[in-house]
Amino acid sequence: MDDFEDPRDEAGTSKDDTTEQALPSSDSTESDPSPSSSESKADGESQSIEDMLLEFDQQEGLIRDRSLLDPNHIVEEDRIVGRDEQLQEVTKMLRVALGDNRPPNLFLYGPSGTGKSLITKAVCKNISEICETRDIRFGTIEVNCQDLDTLGVAVYELASRAADEALVEVEVPKHGVATKEKWDELYRIVNENFDSAVFVLDELDMLVGRRDKQEPAFSRLLYQLSRAGANNELTAHVSVVAISNDTKMMESVGSRALSSFTPEDVHFDDYDANQLQSILRRRQDAFFEDVLDEDVIPLAAAFAAQTHGDARKAIDLMRVAGELAEREGDEHVREEHVREAQDKVEKNRVLEVVRGISTQKKLCLYATAAVASETDDESARSTTGYRVYQFLTDAIDAEQYHQETYVNKMKEMTTYSLVDFERRSHGPSSGMFLEFQFGERPETILETLREDSRIDMISADEVATVVKSQLRNET
């Protein structure tokens, strides 16, 4: 277990915003020193910020209820589509909390955007409302583990979310204390404020923790939470819902944690295009009537179906398309807005993923995407990708991993749904290698990664030349 948490510096960016004031025109008189708004526009002067805000505020928008276009918004049961079986399973297993009993632990797994978090939140919300009528203090303590880097940080975040749910304060600092003190504070908050609670650990596989530990942080977290009740550290009835995109996550859980966690598994598969259309049609009342052109929903669903059947992406496409149409002053959301939104959402998603990864992972990803961008099927052999990676590390004088480590780093990228891979052989002379396929356009990944100043130092044309040379050498 981590003993102490050191303070972490947070990099901030300073902005030097300057505002220019419009000067009066040379032919203005003393009796009329300030030209009217209409005269300003006639003279070619730009609108003030206030004028632009008021003008936009007075426009009739296209979106009536933006919350329905938020993938994380908890929607009514009749808006949950294509997940009847999973909804029934999760409801049946968590419903025992209504009798002030401990529900079983759950492991929900499947690709991103397939309803895992949505269903968990919806079921817990209903349980909470019923428990309130029965004088049972029920809490849902949810954290997303994507941005949590150590066990100590994760425990503090759980304590903080439990305190928010109970409307109380956390009484230990985030840094500078032993992790055990954070565990004790979490137990105190839960015991004093809840009869029953569900810990929802979203994207749990991302909580790897310190590399010098024998097992990942998510394994130690599961062990502590699942053992706390048996050790009488938690008097409240507590269960854990672990959510992961990685179907093999449980293989990395230590034997002690596995024996005490023992979850019920619920699998979520991809949505198909028809299910995605149904999801979007259940949310089309987010827009005013007759605003959406007929081909908008089928096109947004088709785009999302191409990338792992991700409902979040489908909903995001609708939202961004609507916002683009509003900004352009259009009276309808059209097919071209969806296509423009597709490019924007794709880049934003990649940017969100790559922004937080290490420079070494960026170099591995850039090398592999550079190879894929030059092949007909947008795939990249690991052997070719590694040689391009060697060129990149030499170019910026960075530490160079062995090929096995490069491959492992690329395998880790599969958890972000950016790449997938298959083991292949092109004959006895070529040996075995991994072939990486990208879920997004390789060009989008390259463009996004070049926002890192170290990678942007390398000439894109020079990289392309190296890639083409290596591709010619493939056997």
Confidence grade of residue 21 (pLDDT, cut at 50, 70, 90): very low
Tokens of 142: 């949810």
Give the separation between CA 342 and CA 316, rounded to whole angstroms: 9
* Rounded CA separation 177/363 (Å): 36
Please report the pLDDT score of residue 331 as a whole number: 92
At 10 the pLDDT is 37
Note whether 83-267 and 357-472 share their fold: no
Q: Are 69 and 75 in contact (CB under 8 A)?
A: no
Closest CA to 346 of 446, 258, 276: 446
pLDDT above 90 for 55 = no
The answer on pLDDT for 5 being more than 90 is no
Strands 419-425 and 432-438 come out as antiparallel
pLDDT per position as a tens digit, 64-85: 999 999 988 888 888 999 999 9
For domain 83-267, the CATH class is alpha beta
Is 115 annotated to bind ligand?
Answer: yes
Pairing of strands 237-244, 106-109: parallel
Is residue 114 marked as binding? Answer: yes
Helices and strands in the chain: count of H runs, count of E runs: 18, 8
Instruction: Tell whether residue 116 is among the known ligand binding residues.
Output: yes
Q: Is the pLDDT of residue 56 over 90?
A: no
What's the CATH code, domain 66-70+272-352?
Answer: 1.10.8.60
Residue 48's pLDDT is what? 81
- Mean pLDDT across 257-271: 93
CATH topology of domain 357-472: Arc Repressor Mutant, subunit A (1.10.10)
φ/ψ bin of 273: left (φ > 0), alpha (ψ from -120 to 50), beta (otherwise): alpha
Q: What are the start-end ranges of the E strands in 219-276?
A: 237-244, 264-267
CA–CA distances in Å: residue 123 to residues 40, 69, 116, 215, 445: 57, 20, 11, 32, 36
The total number of residues shown for the chain amounts to 475
Of all residues in the chain, the percent with pLDDT exceeding 90 is: 57
Q: Is 271 annotated as ligand-binding?
A: yes
Return d(Cα 112, Cα 139) in angstroms, integer: 25
Query: In the structure, what pLDDT confidence band is assigned to residue 355 with cuts at 50, 70 and 90?
Result: confident
**CA–CA gap between residue 33 and residue 141 (Å, rounded):** 60
Using CA atoms in the order 172, 244, 200, 309, what is the torsion angle rounded to 10 degrees?
A: 130
Q: How far apart are the first and last CA of the chain?
A: 48
Q: What is the pLDDT of residues 207-263, one digit of tens each?
A: 888 765 778 899 999 999 999 877 778 999 999 999 998 888 898 899 999 999 999
Residue 337, CA distances (Å) to 13, 69, 228, 271, 304 in order: 32, 16, 52, 23, 15
Mean pLDDT across the chain, nearest whole number? Answer: 85
Say whether pLDDT at 434 is over 60.
Answer: yes
Domain ranges of the chain: 66-70+272-352, 83-267, 357-472
